[in-house]
Structure 1
Amino acid sequence: MKKILVGLLLVVSVNSFAQSPVATRLSSGYDVGMAYSTGHYNPSLTYFQLLTIGERKLFSLGWTMRLGAFYGDNLNYYTAPARLTRGKTGFGALGAPLLVNNIDTVRYDYVSMTSLNVGIRAQINLGRVVLGASADLVGLTIGKSRTGRYKSSTGQYALRSASGQDSINVYFQGNNVFQQTSPSHFNVRLLGDNDIGTIATEVYARIRLNQRVGVKLGYQWLTTETTAANRNVIADNKRFRHRAGMAYLALTFPIFQ
């Protein structure tokens, strides 16, 4: 008898929630897409959940969870920390620093990394067409270590080697010094050059083809970051950043709306 009562209570609770004002305003689904520009590839799978706001149901606000894999060919990564870039340089439309003399560079033949980020999303609902924007806020990144080529005429780098119980510091200086690097593991949006790790922002328009699928067209700004094994002891830095703008195409599969 108790099991029957518990079952009935669960059914009633679920049914009440499904008919509640909040539930009728919820929508969710998946975006499966690819962002691309020359030398940059970023396939991703995004889950989203949105709450419609207002009586006219014109606006929606919610959260996202995005799993993305980034692949890049022949890319330059530049000094990342804001304390080194603020007031000295900015980044141009293609991600290159405007004043390269103040910025160290790490050059890669190939870069890859995978990130999982949680973010926010906002939409304007215009019937079959939706206009929106989303931004990653926090997450994690993993990936293989890669060999990059330092380009710095003023930097000095410390290489720690160990032999038994003893360790020594060896310093070297100059351009075209090969270094082992890996993706920065923690992603945090702190705005501008204060951002850490791999962070994406996008704007988009989505066209609903039917109740089961929609087509999403957009533009994505992606920041990726690597951390060198050896620190530049003059600048006290081993973080390097690359920014890219990419066209974005995806299919959307609603779960409920």
Structure 2
Amino acid sequence: MKKVLIPFLLLISTYSFAQSPVAARLSSGYDLGMAYSTDHYHPSIAYYQMLNVGERKLFSLGWTLRLGAFYGDNLDYYTAPARLTREKSGFAALGAPLVVKNIDTIRYDYVTMTSLNVGVRAQINLGKVEIGASADLLGLTIGKSRTGRYKSSTGQFTLHSASGADSINVYFQGNNVFQKASPSRFNVRLLGDNDIGTLATEIYARIHVSQRLAVKAGYQWLVTETTVSNRDVIANNNRFRHRAGMAYLALTFPIFY
């Protein structure tokens, strides 16, 4: 009897939730899409769940889980930490403004990485048309290590002897310009240059073609980041960032409760 009763109670509970006012205000689905610009490719699949606000359900707020892969060709990555990218203003001897930026560059022939991020989404519902925006907040990134060409006039790293007993600081010059790097592992949105890792932000419009299918178009800003194996001991940095703006197109498959 228990074997029959337990599944029955679970079925009743699920049905009751589907008919509840909370479930009636929920909408969810999957976005399967691609963001693209010259030398940048970002296919992704995202699950979203939205809570419709108010009786007219004009506004929706919710969260997303996005799995994305990034492929880039011939890209420059620039010094990432905010403490180095901020302009340091001073005055020269003759009173002229002096501005210094601590920016180095790493050039990659090819970059690949895969990220999984949790984010937030807001949306305006206008019948068959929906207009919204979303932003990644937190996640992880994995990918293969790559060799890049380090460009720095002052940067140095510590070179250890074969035995490990001795070490010297050398410039990123000659054969030392070729440095190994990997995608930065953790993604955290801290706003502006304080952000860490790979994070996407997008704006979009969605048109429902049928009850089960919609077309979504928008624009996506993607920040990717790599970590170099040899830290620059002068700037105390091994993080480098690349920003890209891309057109975005996707198919949406809504889920109904």
Structure 1 runs, 4 residues or longer, greater than 4 Å off: none
Q: Deviations over 1:23-53 (max 9, x none)?
A: 0111111111110111111000111111111
Cα gap change, 1:20 to 1:134, in 2 (>3 Å): same
Match of 2:208 in 1: 208
Task: Map 1:215-230 onto structure 2 (within 5 A).
Answer: 215-230=215-230
Match of 1:146 in 2: 146
Matched residue SS, 1:78: strand
The letter of the residue matching 2:201 is T
* 1:58 is the counterpart of 2:58: yes
Percent identity between matched residues is 74
Match of 2:25 in 1: 25
Q: Is the 8 A contact 2:87 2:101 kept in 1?
A: no
Cα gap change, 1:139 to 1:161, in 2 (>3 Å): farther
Match of 1:48 in 2: 48
**Structure 1 residue 12: deviation in Å?**
1.8
Match of 1:170 in 2: 168
**Using the alignment, how far apart are the partners of 2:13 and 2:100 within structure 1?**
62
Q: Deviations over 1:39-86 (max 9, x none)?
A: 111000111111111111001111111111101111110000011112
Cα gap change, 1:14 to 1:101, in 2 (>3 Å): closer
**Using the alignment, how far apart are the partners of 2:161 and 2:45 within structure 1?**
41
**Structure 1 residue 8: deviation in Å?**
2.8
TM-score w.r.t. structure 2 length?
Answer: 0.91
* 1:251 is the counterpart of 2:248: no
The letter of the residue matching 1:114 is T
**Structure 1 residue 167: deviation in Å?**
4.2
**Using the alignment, how far apart are the partners of 2:216 and 2:100 within structure 1?**
37
**Using the alignment, how far apart are the partners of 1:180 and 1:170 within structure 2?**
19
Matched residue SS, 1:23: helix
**Using the alignment, how far apart are the partners of 2:84 and 2:215 within structure 1?**
41
**Using the alignment, how far apart are the partners of 1:49 and 1:185 within structure 2?**
26
* Root-mean-square deviation over aligned CA pairs: 1.7
**Using the alignment, how far apart are the partners of 1:173 and 1:254 within structure 2?**
55
Matched residue SS, 1:113: strand
Match of 1:240 in 2: 240
Match of 1:184 in 2: 184
The letter of the residue matching 1:171 is N
**Structure 2 unmatched runs, 5+:** 90-98
Q: Deviations over 1:136-160 (max 9, x none)?
A: 0000000110001111111111234
**Structure 1 residue 9: deviation in Å?**
1.8
Matched residue SS, 1:102: coil
Cα gap change, 1:175 to 1:245, in 2 (>3 Å): farther
Cα gap change, 1:162 to 1:60, in 2 (>3 Å): farther
Matched residue SS, 1:154: coil
**Structure 1 unmatched runs, 5+:** 90-98
**Using the alignment, how far apart are the partners of 2:65 and 2:165 within structure 1?**
43
Cα gap change, 1:21 to 1:153, in 2 (>3 Å): same
Match of 1:70 in 2: 70
Cα gap change, 1:9 to 1:127, in 2 (>3 Å): same
Match of 1:118 in 2: 118
Deviates more, 1:152-161 or 1:229-238: 152-161
**Using the alignment, how far apart are the partners of 1:116 and 1:172 within structure 2?**
37
